Amino acid sequence: MALTLSDLIEQARLAARSAVEYGGGLINPTVRLGITGLSRAGKTVFITALVHGLVRNGRFPVFEALSEGRIAGARLAPQPDDAVPRFDYESHVRALVADRAWPESTRQISELRLVIAYQSRSGAMRELVLDMVDYPGEWLLDLPLLGKTFEAWSAETLEMSGRGPRARLATPWRAHLATLDAAGPADESAAIDAARLFTEYLAACRNERYAMSLLPPGRFLMPGDLAGSPALTFAPLDVARDGTPPSGSLWAMMRRRYEAYKDVVVRPFFRDHFARLDRQIVLIDALSAFNAGPEAVSDLQDAFRSLLDCFEIGRRTFLSSLLRPRADRILFAATKADHLHHTNHDRLEAILRCMVERAIARADVAGAAVDVIALSAVRATREAEVRRGGATLPCILGVPAAGEHSGSGNRKDSKIFDGKTEVAVFPGDLPDDPDTLFAPGAVPFRGLTAASDEETDFRFVRFRPPPLETTGDEVPALPHIRLDRALQFLIGDRLK
Ligand SMILES: Nc1nc2c(ncn2[C@@H]2O[C@H](COP(=O)(O)OP(=O)(O)O)[C@@H](O)[C@H]2O)c(=O)[nH]1
Ligand SMILES: [Mg+2]
């Protein structure tokens, strides 16, 4: 790909900054850790639990520096980027620990700096600066747009909207699209209507019953501070892939805005955030996809391919080696594993591995180590064997959040939970062999997309965060599943 002027300017800016960051890094070794995932994947809970555990000396046996007793302490420090909101750690901890409520959802990028004081294996006291950057996965999934024309993106989006459960959800938008004359004069109100209907279609796909993952452009669902701006007021048109719009046409206007979206949204995000990350964890709410059904799982699989492509796209778009995305470790983590009995944790990990490997086979992530994990940043459940009719079922125990209900709300025996009572749930067993999910002609399981609540094969209830046993004024760290293993993979090598 030939370098354009804007690429060159971008590279010059990045080079200037890299030199500054490199200089700073000599004094205090710094790791910039990106935490991403689609909305509600568990980013806020993950960062809160991670910091809480490090600050409070949590139980992290697999995290070597800590289990070897080499961590002297961890403290929060002012973050380096003045223009990025601070991750509101204190409020999130208060919600989790004092109120036993999940933190409120955020829809923005945020940052938090943690300084870890440790003793190196050679005995010297050192500090590692860990900058955590929490950003919406929706924004990351925009990077592939950099290499796509408006016409190609339109064609792909239209094609995808005709498949599976998307077809029905896309009907109102597609009906409006059919009334548009792309070559006709530009019409602002038509553009507004099209953008609104298109956004509604994306939001419907994201709904928990469908739980689709691959829905660019990301700002349509996560607008940040751009809601309502012209750069977000466009939608795909039914036009030829290699066509050229007549000047003054609706097509020309949509194309211009699509290009503006790339310039004012996608490129700056790439330059200011993504390209600067040293390590990346991608959180995935795989269980919600299972809850929704096979189409959502296959959509998630496509999203993996796109995600991995993002690392490759950086390499193609910015040619100089200094300026490539530099993340050298990428961890894909299925979150909320506490919704499953531990007998299923390895199965969840195996399914994730299978999906990621299929994606890796097609994407080039040269230079980065990739791993997968099933974890729970905050473990909200306990385990129990429940006898039913001669069989024992591996169940989980937890307190469902107030307002959650068992089964569909309109059934007579359906219960609304009060947020205080502990219940046992049999969540269902994930398949032992992940291939049975992906093999051609695989028997589909039943999810919310196609079945009612009672008929689904998996059942995931929203539990409250766990009670903590406080001893004196010491607040213990939150219980978790495999959070320490994630930590070891992400920063363990930097604490030697
Ligand atoms: N049981 C359980 N639920 C979780 C966990 N992490 C996240 N959740 C649930 O997922 C929701 C979204 O998490 P959050 O961290 O806000 O997601 P974000 O949008 O990616 O920041 C929370 O409100 C919880 O209900 C976990 O480790 N265990
Ligand atoms: Mg969040």
CB distance 105 to ligand 1 below 6 Å? yes
Residue nearest to atom 26 of ligand 1 (CA): 336
Is it the case that residue 185 has pLDDT exceeding 60?
yes
Per-residue confidence (pLDDT) for residue 362, from 0 to 100? 60
What's the gap in Å between 221 CA and the centre of ligand 2? Answer: 14
Per-residue confidence (pLDDT) for residue 28, from 0 to 100? 74
Residue nearest to atom 5 of ligand 1 (CA): 336
Half-sphere exposure of 217 (CA within 13 A, CB side): 30
Quick: pLDDT tens for 292-319.
888 898 889 888 888 887 776 555 554 4
What's the gap in Å between 489 CA and the centre of ligand 2? Answer: 22
Q: What are the distances in angstroms from CA 315 to CA 83, 109, 309?
A: 26, 23, 10
The structure's pTM equals 0.92
Q: How far apart are CA 458 and CA 437, in angstroms?
A: 14
Contact 271, 13 (CB under 8 A): yes
Q: How far apart are CA 494 and CA 128, in angstroms?
A: 8
* AA identity, residue 172: P
CB distance 205 to ligand 1 below 6 Å? no
Residue nearest to atom 22 of ligand 1 (CA): 102
Closest ligand 1 atom to residue 45 Cα is: 15
* Ligand closest to CA 108: 2
Closest ligand 1 atom to residue 37 Cα is: 20
Quick: pLDDT tens for 202-221.
999 999 888 888 889 999 99
Closest ligand 1 atom to residue 480 Cα is: 27
Q: What are the distances in angstroms from CA 400 to CA 4, 50, 149, 200, 403?
A: 55, 24, 47, 30, 8
List the single range of 72-81, 90-99, 258-267, 451-460 with lowest mean pLDDT. Answer: 451-460
Residue 36 bridge partners (DSSP): 135, 282
Residue nearest to atom 12 of ligand 1 (CA): 40
Instruction: Identify the burial level of 173 via C-beta atoms within 10 angstroms of its C-beta, where 0-12 means exposed, 13-18 middle and 19 or more buried.
Output: buried
Helix (H, G, I), strand (E, B) or coil at 435: helix
Measured between alpha carbons, how far apart are the two ends of the chain, in Å? Answer: 40
Contact 72, 171 (CB under 8 A): no
What's the gap in Å between 462 CA and the centre of ligand 1? Answer: 9
Structure confidence at residue 4 as a pLDDT band (50, 70, 90): low
